[in-house]
Structure 1
């Protein structure tokens, strides 16, 4: 016969419980988990029977955590932290030249420099297998928390994360968000005030994407109306092509503009005040002590010491231009 502990921890019940605490909605949680709502309800009731107390209660249509639910949530996070620490401790004893490295990369990031490094890294370390995962911010943080991602590559600062205690970061480079347009009247203008960017509709990243929030915050802080966004896409190339073929404005990272072979024809301006952020590695504390992770970060540093991030982009563009001829 299974013990109470086995009944809780030998199934997916805790995963279901955590997902429900994030959405506080049975229907949404079930959809994310890929199960039916009755199946989710059954698992939660099973967990409540084992612990001997209700974990949730309802106020009208809103779901709330009970005191027992808060205790279970804290305990579950502690369990995952212990498992992650044990995994990291074991991996710290492994070889620097074998194994896997999983990178969670923000989907809106231009990746050509990272791809160039991956090629060079593989030639030197053929026994280490790299996997690039293009993800949303939420997927990245979930992957870091569950130890499914070794290193995240994302934009910082990120105010959506309230508890930075379990994580460390390492800056890759500083980035500017540039105003992009097709307006001949603005050609040659190096700087532009936010209020001067509202006379055309915009195309932008989806709601809650990092750069979408950066734009909203910048306009809010300057007490300027928000841009009228008429289309949204997840990738910078999609945004650029829509902007190029419509009478619209947008904002894209400087690195994306520098990565295009037609960059000299793109009309850009720096926002006034500037919208700046950092491209950074993010990882669980002490993850960089694992030999293969430490080696990866060290080789990436040397890669950028030889030629910095934007110089690497220039090399890539020059190669593309030569192929075009």
Structure 2
């Protein structure tokens, strides 16, 4: 006969509970989990019977966590933290020259410098296997939380995460968001006020993406109308090609603009005031103490000490132009 602890922490029980706390909707949670709604309801009721208290209650059509539910949620997070700490402690005893490194990279980031470093790193460390995962911000935070990725490469500051206590970061470089256009009347401008960039439709990232939020926030701070968005894409290359084909406006990171061999065919300006952010490594506390992770970060830092990020991009673009 199963003990109470075994019933609470049986396979998938906490996963089901956590997913329901994220969506607060049985139908959506069941769809994400790939099970039927009755099956999910049964598992939650079983968990409630085991702990002896309701974990959720309804207000109209909206689901809410009870006091017992909040206690269970806090405890579940503590359990995952303990498991992640145990995993990290075990990994710290492993070799610096063997194993795998999983990087969760924000999908909107230009990766050519990272790819070039991966080639160099493999040549020097052939027994360490690197995996690039191109992810959304939510997928990145889920991956960090569940120890599925060793480090994220993303833009900061990021206000979507409220609890930074379990995480640490390491800056790679500072980025500028550049205004991109084809308007010859603005060609002489090196800096542009957001209000001056409203006379033409825009193409940008989907709603909720980091850079889309950065632009929205700036226009909100200036207390002016938002740009007229006529198309949205998840990848900077898609945005760039649409912008060139349609003569719309856009805003992309300086690193992406510099990575384009055809960058001389477009016009750019820095926003006034500047829209700046940092490209950074983000990882769980003490993750950088794992030998292979520490070595990876040290070698990447040395790689950018020899030539900074933008110099590396220039070399890559020059190499491509030479090949052509």
TM over 0.5: yes
Which residue of the partner structure matches residue 250 of structure 1?
250
Alignment RMSD = 0.9
Which residue of the partner structure matches residue 195 of structure 1?
195
Shift of 1:34: 2.3
Shift of 1:38: 2.0
Moved more, 30-39 or 110-119: 30-39
Which residue of the partner structure matches residue 223 of structure 1?
223
Shift of 1:103: 0.3
Unaligned runs of 5+ in 2: none
Which residue of the partner structure matches residue 265 of structure 2?
265
Give the alignment of 1:166-245 within 5 angstroms: 166-245=166-245
Moved more, 264-273 or 169-178: 264-273
Q: SS of the counterpart of 1:95?
A: coil
Shift of 1:57: 0.4
Q: SS of the counterpart of 1:200?
A: coil
Which residue of the partner structure matches residue 308 of structure 1?
308
Separation in 2, partners of 1:46, 1:247: 58
Question: Deviation per CA, 1:168-214, whole angstroms, max 9, x where unpaired?
Answer: 00000000000011222222321111111111111110111100110
Which residue of the partner structure matches residue 120 of structure 1?
120
Residue 6 of structure 2 is aligned to residue 9 of structure 1: no
Separation in 1, partners of 2:274, 2:16: 43
Shift of 1:31: 2.2
Separation in 2, partners of 1:31, 1:37: 8
Which residue of the partner structure matches residue 43 of structure 2?
43
Q: SS of the counterpart of 1:216?
A: helix
Separation in 1, partners of 2:36, 2:252: 40
Runs of 4+ in 1 over 4 A off after TM superposition: none
Q: SS of the counterpart of 2:246?
A: coil
Which residue of the partner structure matches residue 295 of structure 1?
295
Q: SS of the counterpart of 1:268?
A: strand
Give the alignment of 1:63-212 within 5 angstroms: 63-212=63-212
Unaligned runs of 5+ in 1: none
Separation in 1, partners of 2:89, 2:270: 46
Separation in 2, partners of 1:56, 1:4: 20
Separation in 1, partners of 2:128, 2:158: 30
**TM-score, scaled to structure 1:** 0.98
Aligned residues: 324
Separation in 1, partners of 2:189, 2:35: 54
Separation in 2, partners of 1:152, 1:216: 24
**TM-score, scaled to structure 2:** 0.98
